[in-house]
Amino acid sequence: MAIRIDGKAVAEKVRAKVAFEVAELKKQGVTPGLAVVIVGDDPASRTYVNNKKKACAQVGIYSEEYALPAATSQDELMELVAKLNVKKDIHGILVQSPLPNGLDEKAVVEAIHPDKDVDAFHPSNVGRIMIGNYHFLPCTPAGVIELLRSENIEIAGKNCVVIGRSNIVGKPMAMLLLHNNGTVTICHSKTKNLKEICRNADILVAAVGKPKFVTADMVKRGAAVIDVGMDRDENGKLCGDVDYENVEKVASYITPVPGGVGPMTIAMLLQNTVTAAKSQNWLK
């Protein structure tokens, strides 16, 4: 039976460290500030944004929410980003994805000042991740690395397989594993022999967005399996990309959904907001 990695507990440790750093910054007269922009009324996005605001409050980070109607124009959104880029009490800007149809998300991300880009989605930050010289770690992949560290799971020299090639998770995840000296394979919808490749993984990261996609026959005995999915099963119940019930019998470590990677993503966002506040106030 696999050891269940408790993302809530690991996230709590990161948050305690962030809260300490926030308190130190406040002594120097700086309160880290995060602006969260949400456009439209997607219920999942609303939940994520509420969780992010709540998490900010818990560690003493100041946050502002900008909830805009779905009919917001590209120009209006770009104007808001431009305003936040120069707003003195705001160190981090997060535009919740996905944006409603008709809005150009790429242009919005590129408009965010790279020093305030706490998601690390701006091409300049993405480039930095590629080179390995970064201020901001991408939140979800960084959270996965923290989870592996929390259990002292060695990455160096291990076969790491990432299923999914999104800009938010798959690609930066592969980069971070590579920076940690893993031997990395990225799989996607056109991959041939997916099962064989996954069965070779010592560390398997699932970021496909398909409920229970990773089955026990795809997992090597003793592997560490990290589930980035946030899906709904046939009964509408929250589940991950991994068939937890069966995979836990084969793996040595596994993350649950909920309570695995999810809490880590938010904790790393808080960490990035503090990093942003430090760099913008020359208080390092």
In the annotated binding site for NADP(+), the residues are 164-166
Question: Residue written as tokens 């709904």?
Answer: 232
The yes-or-no answer on residue 233 being catalytic is no
d(CA 12, CA 134) in angstroms, rounded, equals: 24
Q: Calculate the CA dihedral of residues 55, 90, 135, 168 and round it to 10 degrees.
A: 60
Among the candidate windows 92-100, 180-188, 208-216, 235-243, which touches ligand GUN by CB under 6 A?
A: 92-100
Enumerate residues 6+ apart whose C-beta is below 8 A from 144. 173, 176, 205, 226, 228, 261, 264
User: In angstroms, what is the minimal distance from the CB of 119 to ligand GUN?
Assistant: 5
**Taking CB under 6 A as the criterion, which residues in 147-206 touch ligand GUN?**
168
Stretch that binds ligand GUN, among 76-84, 95-103, 201-209, 211-219 (CB under 6 A): 95-103
User: Considering beta carbons, is residue 147 or 153 the nearer one to ligand GUN?
Assistant: 147
> How many Å is the Cα radius of gyration of the chain?
19
Per CB under 6 A, 25 contacts ligand GUN:
no
Helix, strand, coil % over all residues of the chain, rounded to 5: 45, 15, 40
231 binds ligand GUN (CB under 6 A): no
Q: Which of 115, 116, 117, 119 is catalytic?
A: 119
Amino acid at 120: A
The answer to whether residue 139 forms part of the interface with ligand GUN (CB under 6 A) is yes
Q: How far is the CB of 95 from ligand GUN (least distance, A)?
A: 6
Given 96, 116, 227, 278, which residue is catalytic?
96
Instruction: By CB under 6 A, tell whether 228 contacts ligand GUN.
Output: no
Q: How far apart (Å, rounded) are the C-alpha atoms in residues 208 and 197?
A: 15
Enumerate residues 6+ apart whose C-beta is below 8 A from 145.
137, 155, 176, 177, 180
Tell me: does residue 96 bind ligand GUN (CB under 6 A).
yes
Taking CB under 6 A as the binding criterion, the range among 26-34, 88-96, 127-135, 175-183 that sits at the site for ligand GUN is 88-96
Binding residues are 164-166
| Residues paired with 92 in a beta bridge | 34
Residues linked to residue 204 through DSSP beta bridges, in sequence order = 161, 225
Distance CA 32, CA 273 (A): 7
**Active-site annotation holds for 119:** yes
Q: How many residues does the chain have?
A: 284
Residue 212 designated active-site = no
Of 36 and 153, the one with the shorter C-beta distance to ligand GUN is: 36
Binding interface with ligand GUN (CB under 6 A): 94-97, 119, 139-140, 168, 265
Q: Which residues are catalytic?
A: 52, 96, 119
